[in-house]
Amino acid sequence: MTADPQFEQEVARHFRHNAVVNWLDGTFFWLGMSFVASTTILPLYVSHFTDSKMVLGLLSMLASMGYLLPQLFTSNWVERLPRKKVAVVNVGLFTERLPLLLMVPAAWLSTRAPVPALVLFFVLFAWHVIGAGAVAVSWQDMIAKVIPRDRRGRLIGLTNFAGTGTGVLGAAVATWLLDRYTFPYGYVLCFAAAAVLVFVSWVFLSLTREPAQASLKPSVSQREYWRRLPSIVRADANFRRYLLSRIVVATGGMAVGFLAVYAVQRWQLPDSQAGTFTASMLIGQALCNPLFGMLGDRKGHKLGLELSALLGALAVGLASLAPTPAWFHAAFALLGASAAGSFLSGTMIAFEFSAPDVRPTYIGLNNTVTGIASGLAPLLGGWLAGAAGYRPLFATAFVVGLAGLALLHWSVREPRRPRIPVGESEA
């Protein structure tokens, strides 16, 4: 797609406004999500109903696969939208935000009907994460449209810094709520806080000014769109190797959803410990978000993903050696730093593999392929934890994570570098 001077002028004219409202959207969204952290608070909530490791694995599977898997199913639709905001704002209100509000009465129900309450929680959580994934491509493509390439990393980095920084405050409040109120009332209040804050973030998101830009590609049916996907992957060897490396790194995340439960059960810690673990994770995430943003803008996002993979492997490696609960604060800080790089650079790098008119397809392939691995990994982790124990699980995840890092570092070319000329194969 050739550059449109009028469109570029509109983007430049509204850049400051869009940067501010999207910064506020991200800040309030991440603050809200600190009350329902899927790696700390929600696993402990579920552990009140069951000690099944496979159920905990199911929660982790939904948290990752539910968000990433749907994205390829919506990318064809998003490519044809002149304004991506229509999907992320109008549809996202019902698919992503509403289920968090409904979690409040669902948690309250657990006082009288624990089994239906647990089933309802999983239904609502699946609704939330799948709904978030359904509009994720439109949000990412909207950001790519309204924020120039050399400023995206810093904006997302500063947004996530503010969100995770205030999320530390949210985690402190969550710690107090879970310590002050008996089960399930502390969780009821945490879910209510999350719902209110993500609705505030939606208000700011809706204020984005996005100029219309019609796609020049001819419309194709969903069936034809799916038929063309393999040829896209075959034609781009560097992107293909990148996807393979992301699959291996995602598989190395098989232990993440078990860290908090392992620590609490091993040392008989109170539920409020989930809040302090969340705070440690958010501190690591907050401190590293601006660094990953600046690094990505200057050096490219491949380096950010490599650092993220290394930090994630170190987190589970440290957990496997932890002699006291205090070590887990360092492990969760590393995990937060890894999550910062994975989200920021994992999102931004997909923009740079492709031209704007096929960008949603590359975004969808990037996230859906990764999502399948991310979703299956916790089930593998749950099986391994049940068969061999938590420490062998952590050690296995450490080794697999390092293997993914090696594959990413040595087989994938930074997409900002010029492509190899035709006739000189890079396969």
Span 164-188, mean pLDDT?
89
What DSSP line would sit under 311-375, residue for residue?
HHHHHHHHHHH-SSTHHHHHHHHHHHHHHHHHHHHHHHHHHHSS-GGGHHHHHHHHHHHHHHHHH
Q: How confident is the model at residue 204 (pLDDT cuts 50, 70, 90)?
A: very high
Q: How confident is the model at residue 135 (pLDDT cuts 50, 70, 90)?
A: very high
pLDDT at 40: 81
Domain hosting 350: range is 5-411
pLDDT at 425: 44
Task: For residue 423, tell me if it sits in a domain.
Answer: no
CB-hemisphere CA count at 13 Å for 360?
A: 29
Instruction: Give the residue with greater pLDDT, 249 vs 83.
Output: 249
Q: What percent of the chain has pLDDT over 70?
A: 96
DSSP-based three-state secondary structure for 299:
helix
Task: For residue 328, tell me if it sits in a domain.
Answer: yes
Total of domains in the chain? 1
pLDDT at 245: 97
| Count of Cβ atoms closer than 10 Å to residue 418 Cβ | 6
pLDDT at 410: 96
Amino acid at 264: V
Q: b/e for 19-40, b at 16 or more Cβ within 10 A?
A: bebbbbbbbbbbbbbbbbbbbb
pLDDT at 175: 87
Q: What percent of the chain has pLDDT over 90?
A: 46
Task: For residue 426, tell me if it sits in a domain.
Answer: no
Most confident of 76-80, 123-127, 413-417: 123-127
Containing 33, the helix (H) or strand (E) segment is: helix 5-33
pLDDT in tens, 72-119: 888 888 888 888 898 999 999 999 999 999 999 999 999 889 999 999
Q: In this predicted structure, which of 75-79, 138-142, 175-179, 218-222 has the lowest mean pLDDT? A: 218-222
Task: For residue 11, tell me if it sits in a domain.
Answer: yes
Using CA atoms, how far residue 154 sits from 148, 311, 353, in Å, is: 11, 21, 19
Judge contact between 311 and 334, C-beta under 8 A: yes
pLDDT in tens, 273-309: 877 888 898 889 888 888 888 888 888 899 999 999 9
**Domain CATH code at residue 141:** 1.20.1250.20
Distance separating the N- and C-terminal Cα atoms of the chain: 26
Task: For residue 420, tell me if it sits in a domain.
Answer: no
Task: For residue 425, tell me if it sits in a domain.
Answer: no
Task: For residue 137, tell me if it sits in a domain.
Answer: yes
Q: How confident is the model at residue 422 (pLDDT cuts 50, 70, 90)?
A: very low
Q: How confident is the model at residue 2 (pLDDT cuts 50, 70, 90)?
A: very low
Q: Say yes or no to pLDDT of 312 above 90.
A: yes
Q: Say yes or no to pLDDT of 1 above 70.
A: no
Compute CA 48 distance to the chain's CA centroid, rounded to the nearest angstrom: 25
Instruction: Give the residue with greater pLDDT, 32 vs 157.
Output: 32
Q: Say yes or no to pLDDT of 421 above 80.
A: no
Task: For residue 427, tell me if it sits in a domain.
Answer: no
Mean pLDDT of the chain: 88
Compute CA 271 distance to the chain's CA centroid, rounded to the nearest angstrom: 24
